Structure 1
């Protein structure tokens, strides 16, 4: 406790504090980054600046009913901390897991809560970043300098979700709610509720509130693929019967899940029609032969062009089969006083409309960056493996995987950043940046990700804000954990793309 109080007292000072590393964000990425710094660069000082009042990131921000992971915790959990619960977990279980990581590794003294970063400026002369943050509890402006900046603030705007502007929204007499800003006092018991959306959030909210609502309607413009299944891992359960150590279970199950995911991703591309039918067969098992699965749960795209959410125990489909929930696939014409008028002419009446319509992408937290007093436009940079950017020294950004658990990349990057920092110490250098070698300067610049490979709406809406990728593997984020887990340890830190000074 003494360390924490000392840190808090110093942060209230007008003096500028200096650290070797500044981590932005105390979510799943930031806490993982802190662990790797402590264990792999034990001599380095670091601080975590977190805008919210506690740790957790997404799992703290989102308060909507039923909030849970949409990927399994054996891979969403860190590689160094065994997961012992169900594969798909609710937010409170994930927060408990993160609290244990923080406590077991004495990370609390390094975290400054309620510190919202306002700006980040790099000085080549001083070889350091200057970061200004506002304390939401006092309004005070705090200044921190750091040799290295590790951006772990996530990839979307936590303050406001994305809601399209539909005609007539101001005419609706009921409540309009976005799940990202769910009111604590929202009373939906006995009410008619429409949930607009077709992704993991909609699939979570509908079964979570269905039992209490008069009726809940899932209204979607187009269908999404889902994987319904039992919320258990048979291999993990069998190994526990054999009294295998949890550390071994975590590693074995983690590898099996990753192997299966890689095989599924391959088949989704090479055998897309077969995989499509397998996914739809899983839905039909819950909804029966008379339900129009073709209309309501058959997307126009091939599997894995957008994220596929796991539906534990098929609860979404159980709600529909029971009659407590229904699904409508149509386009919205406009909002009305009573609800929503569809393009087909049908009007859906509601007391509450929930817009589970996605989020707003936020490139590096929307923080204004400058390098030697010149503003940085990340859309003008080229990414190095999706984690560093040309022209931006001593900075890395954690951006995880779309087709696998986000945290997998946190661990890979933890190893890489620690190795890079240690390498800089060995070379007695204070600055590193990535740059295109002469032979790559004329390389074609492409969007951050190939839309034919992965194209969720939130990414497509903001692609113009994202860094560019090149045609060579090192100048793109390939979204393939299975290859990166072998490639990252082999990255040559003396390769021509690394410029030290």
Structure 2
């Protein structure tokens, strides 16, 4: 067994937002970690590219404010807009890689050919090459003790099988390859989907496409990025999270209803015309317990102006440029469109998470529950058996995934904490006390998690990565050693912190729920970030000053 973390070689596959923070947190704990990235740059989808890999559009604007969408110990620059364009996020990720000196530990332009498990020696053999099509002579095999797949969720497109598609003579593409809206000048485009990507794509086509149809089978809550002059996520505080946690534990239906009414109020205030246009079929929307709202400032104005037309879901293709849609409501005749030049699928991704790189025998979703796949809400996506949606049940001491957990929180924060937890669990330093439970207990937990998500899939679409937010955060807080729950809870440590630091306590619990909260407290497992308190105070003061200015 390794005597210290520096003796443990860890491979991190992917150098996007999830891979960068994972690599950084492993290096911070002293691991001998190496990142691998098939592209020539870090930052993943946040760098706009014209190739056929997933990337943002130049017009993409973040759905999360910079105050809540940053990493735990690296704020955005002060001059970055609160709700910024994608180019700012790319700049932020490049700065993150430079600040923490990650680039020397990342192998760019490196394709992963295969990952093989060596059970006899408890190792992982990774076959890498300069390109995916490189010859065997150019392939190199590197051996690691541990492996983290951080390729993210937006890699392999999910495209539904549509009857008659082979008869369509127009262009068919997935949002992954939708890069230049101007290329669709004077085209009639059928956008399939109702999520944030579908909304952004339809809006981006305005002023270019001749007609824009938005085809969807269910409704959605449409939320603006701003509410009462501030980002809608600035109203979330640690106290509010605590109340929500208690309600979800003791009165889950009441908690869901309150959250839904809150979202409904924001939607109706921003877009009152929604209820004047039932033909848009945005209501009823799936429960916010299992799906995320669509965030768009311009989708509803586009529908109001007629630049975007809401139509029922795509049922089949009936000719070179014609499609049949679902009936608008029960008893109606199916709708038909005879002028479609382009079908743009904004239907998400398979959520492979890099698992297809593994040998089938170690693939965490190799035995996906047939009951899950039989439910319409699963949409045929695999359901992996992962403890806490992070650790492989077969090899929890050496195989983990970033991107397999999801709930309503910024991804940068979530996977910063998740990778901190992995670093603690896998560490062998004297200060490390995080451990995983026995295999039987982990199996039981996964069974319960899958039973929970299957219930949601019976009533509508659900993300396979969905997990119980507050239960997961409590586990990650303990495993990562962030000490947040202890210091802001109601135990002796919490009361002691409150009595000694009342002003700071109030700021942490009533101010904006910032990721820096997870770096402010030292613990026996990890050091605090010295700049956490200053960053939290400065950020809250800046937001307070901005509100005062707007009121004047």
**Which residue pairs with 2:38 in the alignment?**
51
1:339 aligned residue (316, 322, 336): 322
CA distance in 2, matches of 1:441, 1:191: 52
Q: 1:235 to 1:118 in 2, by over 3 A?
A: closer
What is the TM-score with the length of structure 1 in the denominator?
A: 0.74
Residue in structure 2 matched with residue 129 of structure 1 by the alignment? 124
What's 2:420 paired with?
415
Shift of 1:296: 1.7
User: Which shifted more, 349-358 or 196-205?
Assistant: 349-358
Aligned to 1:79: 72
CA distance 1:255–1:196, shift in 2 (3 Å): closer
1:388 aligns with 2:391: yes
Residues 234 and 227 of structure 1: CA distance in aligned 2, closer, same or farther (over 3 Å): closer
Residue 95 in structure 1 maps to residue 90 in structure 2: yes
Deviations 1:364-410 (A, max 9, x none): 4311238xxx6555445853222212331422212342321222232
What are the residue-to-residue correspondences of 1:477-488 with 2, within 5 Å? 477-480=467-470, 482-484=473-475, 486-488=477-479
Give the 5 Å matches for 1:126-165: 126-136=121-131, 139=135, 140-156=138-154, 158=155, 160-165=156-161
Aligned-partner Cα distance in 1 for 2:442–2:158 = 37
Alpha-carbon distance between aligned partners in 1 of 2:445 and 2:401, rounded to the nearest angstrom: 23
By how many angstroms is 1:29 displaced? 1.0
Residue aligned with 1:92, SS: helix
Distance of 2:88 and 2:210 partners within structure 1: 29
Task: Tell me the CA shift for residue 98 of structure 1.
Answer: 0.3
Cα shift readout 1:37-94 (whole Å, capped 9, x = no counterpart): 23332xx322111122322223342255633444444333211111343444433222
Partner of 1:306 in structure 2?
Answer: 291
* Cα distance change of structure 1 residues 189 and 276 upon mapping to structure 2, 3 Å threshold: same
Aligned to 1:27: 16
* Residue 249 of structure 1: aligned partner: none
Contact 2:216/2:311 (CA < 8 Å) preserved in 1?
yes
How far does residue 19 in structure 1 lie from its aligned partner after superposition? Answer: 7.0
**Structure 1 counterpart SS, 2:288:** coil
DSSP-derived class of the 2:68 partner: helix
**Deviation digits for residues 293-339 of structure 1, max 9, x if unmatched?**
4852113532232112322xx21112122222221234524343233
Residue correspondence of structure 1 range 331-480 to structure 2 within 5 A: 332-343=315-326, 344-348=333-337, 349-369=339-359, 375-376=362-363, 378-379=365-366, 382-392=385-395, 393-398=397-402, 399-422=404-427, 424-426=428-430, 435-437=438-440, 445-446=447-448, 448=450, 450-453=453-456, 477-480=467-470
Deviation for aligned residue 1:155? 3.1
- 2:281 is matched with 296
Residues 270 and 441 from structure 1, CA distance in 2 versus in 1: closer, same or farther, beyond 3 angstroms? closer
1:62 aligns with 2:55: yes
Moved more, 410-419 or 224-233: 224-233
Partner of 2:303: 320
CA 1:427 to 1:70, structure 2 compared with 1: closer, same or farther past 3 Å?
closer
Structure 2 partner of 1:198: 194
Distance in 2, matches of 1:203 and 1:116, equals 33
Residue 270 of structure 1 corresponds to which residue in structure 2?
254
| TM-score, normalization by structure 2 | 0.67
- Structure 1: stretches of 5+ with no match in the other structure: 1-17, 237-252, 467-475, 492-501
2:168–2:317 contact (8 Å) kept in structure 1? no
Give 5+ residue unaligned stretches, structure 2. Answer: 1-6, 48-53, 327-332, 368-383, 483-552
Q: Which moved more, 1:53-62 or 1:103-112?
A: 53-62
**Partner Cα distance (2:238, 2:10) in 1:** 31
Secondary structure, in 3 states, of the residue corresponding to 2:18? helix
Q: Distance in 2 between matches of 1:126 and 1:482?
A: 34
CA distance in 1, matches of 2:244, 2:444: 36
CA RMSD across the alignment: 3.8
Distance in 2 of aligned mates of 1:39 and 1:132? 26
Bigger strand share = 1
